[in-house]
Amino acid sequence: MAKAPLILFTRAGEPGWAERVRAIAPGARLFDEKELEDDPGLIGRVEICYPGLKPELWDKAARLRWVQADYAGVDTFVDRPEVRRHPAVLTNVHIHGQSIAEHLWGMTLALTRNLHKAAAEQAKGSWKASLREGLSSLAGHTLCVAGLGIVGTRCAEIGRAFGMSVIGISRHARPNRAADEVVGSAERARAFARSRVIMLILPNTPDTVGFVGKPELDATQGAFLLNAGRGPSVVTDELVAALRDGRVRGAGLDVTDPEPLPGGHPLWAAPNVIITPHYAGNHPGYAAEAFEVFCRNLERWMRDEPLECVVDRAAGY
């Protein structure tokens, strides 16, 4: 079993968290950022950090062996040179599957059933019967999910429940139980052409920047495009053009590029667009769930077992 570690908490925990950690790692020394400010030399002795570490401290953390993040998207974290060159293991959490899937499907249903427009009319006290026109169905059509991790798989499962067939897009094109077929990213335009709904749940990597640009949007046939991965996956100006000419019938964006969009940007006022401020992954109990991931990994650490949810820094996720 590992010796009692020195653990830095960079965010205030809930009542009882310290006791829980000490029960898993008897004798562990826990300290926070206030103590670190009072004694900067502590950073050279810390071994474990939760839920993150400021970039300027990585090079000073000579004994750091493991950082547990409390979020999934670590792209802005691992892109920093001081993080890439440090030997510490970086782990994240995979607790967003249900909440992001619900968020994406909520936006999809709003767009296909004109619910966002009905809500706007309700706020004005207006009964607008014309909202019955221009509706779109899901059953019998195809869903394309780009990014078949935990979140994408859950989105695909829900799509099947709506009676849709599912095309998945993944880097390795491996079969997935929730998809009828899985293709590589090079096939994305052809997959988009067959789809009524396209959902993007992609990390921000060199391979995913501009994943949806003019060639891909030219291939769509009036599909609905949803993005809850990272904003740079979609070329924003091309999306604006595709929404205007009908290549994309509607868009649900929890992320944008830039983020947030500047005032006056055409997407703000687009009638066929729903924008939410990057909160699809948030849900009640999030902090407690993330802490549970840390505790499970700490148990593994104390038993000298491999950690779960280890980030591949080269891949960026």
CATH assignment, 97-275: 3.40.50.720
For 228-260, the pLDDT digits (tens) are 999 999 999 999 999 999 999 999 999 999 999
| Averaged pLDDT for residues 311-315 | 86
Higher pLDDT, 174 or 73: 174
Domain boundaries, the chain: 6-95+284-302, 97-275
Q: Which residues contact 207 (CB under 8 A, 6 or more apart)?
A: 171, 185
Q: At what angle do helices 17-24 and 286-302 cross, to 10 degrees?
A: 20
Which pLDDT value is given to residue 154?
98
Which pLDDT value is given to residue 313?
84
To which CATH superfamily is domain 6-95+284-302 assigned?
NAD(P)-binding Rossmann-like Domain (3.40.50.720)
| Averaged pLDDT for residues 288-311 | 97
For 111-144, the pLDDT digits (tens) are 999 999 999 999 999 999 999 999 999 999 999 9
Flag whether pLDDT at 315 surpasses 90. Answer: no
Distances 125 to 118, 133, 257, 271, 272 between C-alpha atoms, Å = 10, 19, 34, 18, 21
Where residue 74 falls among pLDDT bands split at 50, 70, 90? Answer: confident
Task: Return the SS3 of 50.
Answer: strand
Contact 155, 201 (CB under 8 A): yes
For 197-209, the pLDDT digits (tens) are 999 999 999 999 9
The domains spanning 6-95+284-302 and 97-275 adopt the same CATH topology? yes
Q: What are phi and psi of 239, to 5 degrees?
A: -65, -45
Q: Which residues are catalytic?
A: 230, 259, 278
What pTM was computed for the model? 0.94
Residue 192: its H or E element: helix 188-193
Peptide bond into 87 cis (omega under 30): no
